[in-house]
Structure 1
Amino acid sequence: MTLPQLAGQVIVARYAGRGAPVDLVRRLHLGGVIAFSDNVSAPSAAAAANRTLRRAVGRPLLIGVDQEGGLVERVRGGATRFPAFMAAGAADDPGLTRAAARASGGELAGLGFDVVFAPVADVTSGPGDPTIGSRSPGSDPDLVSRHALAAARGLAAAGVVPVVKHFPGHGSVPADSHRVLPVQRRSLARLRQVDLRPFAAAVDAGLPAVMVGHLDVAAVDPGVPSSLSGPVLTGLLRGRLGFDGLVVTDALDMAAVRDRVRSRAVGTRALRAGADVVLMPRSPAAARAGIVGAVRSGRLPRERLEEAATRMLATLGHADRVRPRPTAPGSGAAASRRLSAAAVTVVAGPCSGRLVGDGVRVRGSDPAQVATFRAAARAAGLPLGAGTNVTLLGRGADPVRRGVAVALATPYVLGRSRAPVRIATFGSTPGAMSALVQVLLGRARAPGRLPVEVPGVRAGC
């Protein structure tokens, strides 16, 4: 490759619109693109756009997507919806976690995606964690390790590259890197004991890719975002943990980096620190020009750029060789429901028998969630409109005092509620609502256990 081609090759960019971004990729010789909800009108349209892009470009291309389940779902409208990753921690059955991830990965592979920016390996610290929350399996590093590995292996078995995130652990900082640069004040010993353990397990398991978050790790490189830090990427991740796979930055248009580093310099700084993939710089053209200029001036060795591009292409090439048959959108519904059924957790109220009267009156701030519950109730023969109050509590919901309180995301609101029956589902998918209704009717037990501490309630039945 020429130097400008090499510089483009390590950049994965966001794009506008729902069509294939052929001109953007060709013009900058980009290594790939990442799709968001506004790029995807329907699974069939995403598949067509990805197919068009690959044919037009005619070389290996990273087409990635954030598809964690729960709050982070970019592809909907026919694709199977999966619960938040905390459901995996509540169920604590790695086989179910792997099966759900494989089902999700198979659908994404069928749509032409070859990289999934998941699973989350952050250990959440509890209510003071504003960013990760239910995206994490829980607050026990061993639990998180089990399910991050199981999910990554499931995605890999489906033929997509999993990217474990967000090294060195975003779950224990009290700020959101989308808005500011969070400061991680834990000692290195404490980081090794908690936050780093799932990533060390991922490295030991030979997983192919790690995403590095934007954190000011005071014990390692104070004042510098970890995504741009040599002591974090090269010293800690590659040196101490021994990782030799693909290192991906978190999105470089986030405020933690955007407000500190110019677009022209951000790609160079990431590569010099040890990253291989420059993800979502605000201006891909400026980032590319900055990399070219840095190599020509000697501030960035060409060998470092070639190493990054080679590692990126090798990762994609390996995934192509092991790709199994993809699956159709919606085919993972059974796997999603099995995971949700194993995750439903009753933290207050009877552990068996019917939990509602002859009918229910459902309430909630999100009309879509209410509609999904209503559909599940009708399918199960549970009358709607009168009877026991069932309140669906999403993020930031106020506590409730009567009837049945259902936490759909993190379960912390249940500790502040006084409803006689309190349940955590860790999702609002059709499968989660169906599993909830079966528990309410006494037709199924709730086998889940809280994977985080919630004062004022029991951990489960």
Structure 2
Amino acid sequence: MSTEELAGQVLLPFYSGLDAEAQAATVQRLHLAGSIIMGDNVPGMSDGQVDTAAMLGVTRRLQAATQAGGRSWPGMIAVDQEGGMVSRLRAPLTEWPAPMSYGAAGNAPLAGDAGTAMAAELAALGFNTDFAPTVDVTMGPADRAVGARSLSGDAGTAAGLGVGFAQGLLAGGLLPAVKHFPGHGSVTADSHESLPVQNGTPEQLRTRDLVPFQAAIDAGLPMVMTGHLAVSAWQPGVPATVSAASYAELRAMGFQGVAVTDALNMGAVTGAYPDDSAAPLALAAGADLLVMPARVDVAHAAIVGAVKTGSLPAGRLAEAAQRVVTMMMWRGRTGAAPGLPPGSGAELSRHISAAAITVLAGPCQGPLVPGSMRIAGGSALDRARFAAAAGAAGISVGSGPLVTLIGFGGSAAAPEAAEAAVAVALDAPWPLADSAAPTRIALYGRTPGAFAALADVLAGRAAAPGRLPAAVGPHPPGSGCG
């Protein structure tokens, strides 16, 4: 390959809007590795659901663009689909609860089944890569960026569940990428906005944040995503995505696969490295695949220019491209996954929420509300879904005790929560620490299946077997009725 072709093979760009033709032309012109699909690239129907036929047309067009130059291996058609808050494609595809559900359920095979089912629906739409799972070990409410995206506050649990979910993705036909090395769950800043600093000692990192990544490496998983956080013990002030010391640590752990950066258009990078200057720096440091530079043409030119000046050794660029191409050749040899129709995992999604739901305070048996209740909080869609699930469970809505839904960023101190008889955290369970409600429930999701699980517990038709995967105020990990 020429330098220009090699530079293309290490770039995975995004694009704005629904014009896949323009993106396909860019992919072909710059010899790019493929494309990542974000929420605004997903074609929709008049009822708000995903137009799955049009989505398949988009991925096929982008895939064709990657092979227009005679490539024999598939291009990378990627998405961020974790479940919960990070879900680029929603109904009619199965909606999955937050990954913390797996930690609350404490069931690695269940996480694997979910990964397989999620991957199978995406594979049917032409995707072959999912930047999931997030294996960051959360430290609790001070963790602003990860929250319920984390599987657990326990390193060993996050490791087992993360490997299980990733292996499920592989079984369903998608390449997984564990993220965000060396662990975004124990820093307080959000790298979408600024650069977090990890001040842990090397021993603290080895015994906590790095544990899930070591497990992923030992399991032979193909990709590790580096995060935009500076590790003081390795290279102070420099994001791991552009830090040679961070990549050296990753390789010293035995990783031989593709090291992929978190999105290069995030605030932690763009402020310090304008005009996509981070692209050649990340490659020189040890990255193999660069995700979402702010302007892919500028990043491509920066990489080519850095090779010409010698600031990026030609051999390092070739090594990075070889890793990416080798992985995609392997993926191509496995054959395209047959896939499953949209919504095939709905019953499994409901089962996961039923296994995860956690009663933090209140009775562990019997009905938690009488035959009628009032609903407050959450979004309009949350309330509508909950009301429908309540009706199916035999609970009417309009009078009786108040059940308050607390969504992402919500507070148990909100006016509608003050008189709640039942407080329900829909995402991370942290708001329950401040709730005075006599009954407090962690749901870890706002899917139809999650609300069905909630309604069954409130009606006394089902138990709540889940246990807290991380501490919530005075309640230690493991608290719950299960």
State the TM-score bracket (shorter-chain normalisation).
over 0.9
Say which of 118, 122, 126 aligns to 2:132: 118
Is residue 298 from structure 1 mapped to residue 310 from structure 2 by the alignment?
Answer: yes
Is residue 255 from structure 1 mapped to residue 255 from structure 2 by the alignment?
Answer: no
1:96 and 1:339 in contact (8 A); partners too: yes
Question: How many angstroms does 1:381 deviate by?
Answer: 2.8
1:414 and 1:457 in contact (8 A); partners too: no
Is residue 216 from structure 1 mapped to residue 234 from structure 2 by the alignment?
Answer: no
Query: Bigger CA drift: 323-332 or 404-413?
Result: 323-332
Aligned to 1:404: 422
Aligned to 1:36: 38
1:416 and 1:456 in contact (8 A); partners too: no
Quote the Cα distance in structure 2 between the aligned partners of 1:424 and 1:111: 33
Quote the Cα distance in structure 1 between the aligned partners of 2:202 and 2:442: 34
Is residue 134 from structure 1 mapped to residue 148 from structure 2 by the alignment?
Answer: yes
Quote the Cα distance in structure 2 between the aligned partners of 1:44 and 1:147: 33
1:132 and 1:170 in contact (8 A); partners too: yes
Is residue 266 from structure 1 mapped to residue 278 from structure 2 by the alignment?
Answer: yes
Letter in structure 2 aligned against 1:318: W
Aligned to 2:47: none
1:27-426 paired onto structure 2 within 5 Å: 27-41=29-43, 42=50, 43-58=52-67, 59=71, 60-233=74-247, 235-239=248-252, 241-322=253-334, 323-399=336-412, 400-401=417-418, 402-426=420-444
Quote the Cα distance in structure 1 between the aligned partners of 2:64 and 2:200: 48
1:6 and 1:309 in contact (8 A); partners too: yes
Quote the Cα distance in structure 1 between the aligned partners of 2:262 and 2:238: 14
Question: How many angstroms does 1:320 deviate by?
Answer: 2.7
Letter in structure 1 aligned against 2:55: A
2:427 and 2:444 in contact (8 A); partners too: yes
Per-residue CA shift, 1:383-404, capped at 9, x if unaligned? 1111221111112222134311
Per-residue CA shift, 1:160-188, capped at 9, x if unaligned? 00000000000000100111111111111
DSSP 3-state at the match of 2:370:
coil
Indicate how the Cα distance of structure 1 residues 38 and 271 shifts in structure 2: closer, same or farther if over 3 A, else same.
same
Question: How many angstroms does 1:324 deviate by?
Answer: 3.4
2:32 and 2:66 in contact (8 A); partners too: no
Question: How many angstroms does 1:371 deviate by?
Answer: 1.3
Question: Structure 1 regions of 5+ residues with no counterpart?
Answer: none
Quote the Cα distance in structure 2 between the aligned partners of 1:268 and 1:425: 43
Quote the Cα distance in structure 2 between the aligned partners of 1:104 and 1:365: 26
Per-residue CA shift, 1:67-100, capped at 9, x if unaligned? 0101101011311110101000000011111111
Per-residue CA shift, 1:280-325, capped at 9, x if unaligned? 1111111111111111222222221111111112212222333432
Quote the Cα distance in structure 1 between the aligned partners of 2:379 and 2:32: 39
Runs of 4+ in 1 over 6 A off after TM superposition: none
Letter in structure 2 aligned against 1:209: M
TM-score normalised over the length of structure 2: 0.93
Query: Bigger CA drift: 53-62 or 95-104?
Result: 53-62
Aligned to 1:442: 460
Letter in structure 1 aligned against 2:176: P
Quote the Cα distance in structure 2 between the aligned partners of 1:382 and 1:24: 54
Quote the Cα distance in structure 2 between the aligned partners of 1:38 and 1:419: 39
Letter in structure 2 aligned against 1:423: I
2:244 and 2:286 in contact (8 A); partners too: yes
Letter in structure 2 aligned against 1:24: T
> Percent sequence identity over matched residues?
48
Indicate how the Cα distance of structure 1 residues 331 and 19 shifts in structure 2: closer, same or farther if over 3 A, else same.
farther
Quote the Cα distance in structure 2 between the aligned partners of 1:326 and 1:298: 45
Per-residue CA shift, 1:13-39, capped at 9, x if unaligned? 011222422112112221111111100
Quote the Cα distance in structure 2 between the aligned partners of 1:250 and 1:376: 38
Aligned to 1:13: 13
Quote the Cα distance in structure 1 between the aligned partners of 2:26 and 2:164: 36
TM-score normalised over the length of structure 1: 0.97
Question: How many angstroms does 1:457 deviate by?
Answer: 4.3
DSSP 3-state at the match of 1:431:
helix
Question: Structure 2 regions of 5+ residues with no counterpart?
Answer: 44-49
Quote the Cα distance in structure 2 between the aligned partners of 1:290 and 1:244: 26
Pairwise CA RMSD of aligned residues? Answer: 1.3
DSSP 3-state at the match of 1:181:
coil
Letter in structure 2 aligned against 1:236: E
Quote the Cα distance in structure 2 between the aligned partners of 1:298 and 1:213: 26
